[in-house]
């Protein structure tokens, strides 16, 4: 492939993001994009870019991922994450507890096991054996979240995701989340499910979703978005058609980022706000 422009697109949730948190979202998105762009701009791989970009968002405490995770009905953390490369390699974890960077554990599942997904206790034991450091819940979860969970406050932040195209024409995507506040123990949403919360194929494109996970699962949102690219839709049109389908068939709410195999960007959502941004040709754009 010639004349490839490395490109990175990210999201930090499509939700009723509170006005008071917009600046925090923008700063965290900007920091994540700069982290990922440095990797792409220096000739790094799409998968390295995606992992480190999402690590930045997981560590920020701003989003519903990593150190910003919400609590389930029992006041516990259960994280879901998926990484996928354009050659269809993939790794995922679901209902993972006590580790601040589930996207990195998911990548290790992809690279170090014959499996695609590990869940619950099995994912926890694997992460420990791989040398990842666990954290006590009071270190991992913010005081803000304990207070919000106890008082059943509305969520104003969401899942994180990234899709990257590197200089060699390789695509990769990643999605990481703590799920929905107060969810039933063991609930798994769309984020770690191939085709639903994330998908990547070098022959079409890569996508990551955020919003109501059960709705995206029903229409296999990210695979659907990539399939729309096969019929010569622009990435933007494909993203818009996916969100339209989500609303029409499930009455669902959410957003999606989509990157075609040529680096065409599509971003669409039907919520009040969506935290999103992209980096290409040294230009970084952030919107909330």
Overall residue count recorded for the chain in this entry? 288
Q: Which of 7, 35, 159, 271 is catalytic?
A: 159
Q: What angle do CA 221, 225, 231 make, to 5 degrees?
A: 145
159 is a catalytic site residue: yes
Q: Which residue has the tokens 């970084």?
A: 284
Q: 124, 30 in Cβ contact below 8 A?
A: no
Catalytic residues: 159
């Amino acid at each position: 492939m010639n004349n490839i422009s490395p490109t990175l697109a990210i999201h930090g949730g499509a939700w009723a993001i509170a006005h008071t948190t917009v600046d925090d979202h923008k700063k965290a998105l900007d920091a994540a994009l700069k982290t990922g762009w440095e990797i792409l701009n220096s000739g790094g791989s799409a998968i390295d870019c995606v992992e480190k970009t999402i690590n930045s968002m997981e560590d920020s405490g701003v989003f519903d991922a990593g150190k910003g995770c919400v609590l389930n009905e029992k006041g516990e953390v259960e994280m879901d994450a998926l990484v996928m490369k354009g050659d269809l390699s993939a790794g995922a974890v679901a209902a993972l507890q006590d580790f601040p960077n589930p996207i990195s554990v998911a990548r290790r599942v992809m690279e170090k096991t014959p499996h695609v997904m590990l869940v619950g206790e099995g994912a926890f034991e694997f992460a420990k054996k791989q040398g990842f450091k666990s954290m006590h819940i009071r270190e991992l979860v913010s005081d803000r979240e304990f207070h919000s969970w106890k008082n059943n406050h509305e969520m104003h932040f969401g899942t994180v995701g990234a899709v990257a195209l590197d200089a060699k024409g390789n695509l990769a995507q990643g999605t990481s989340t703590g799920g929905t506040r107060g969810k039933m123990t063991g609930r798994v949403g769309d984020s770690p499910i191939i085709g639903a919360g994330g998908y990547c194929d070098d022959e079409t494109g890569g996508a990551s979703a955020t919003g109501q996970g059960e709705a995206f699962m029903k229409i296999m949102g990210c695979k659907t978005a990539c399939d729309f690219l096969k019929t010569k839709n622009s990435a933007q049109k494909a993203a818009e058609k996916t969100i339209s389908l989500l609303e029409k068939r499930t009455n669902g709410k959410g957003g999606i980022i989509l990157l075609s195999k040529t680096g065409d960007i599509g971003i669409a959502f039907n919520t009040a706000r969506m935290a999103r941004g992209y980096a290409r040709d040294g230009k970084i754009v952030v919107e909330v």
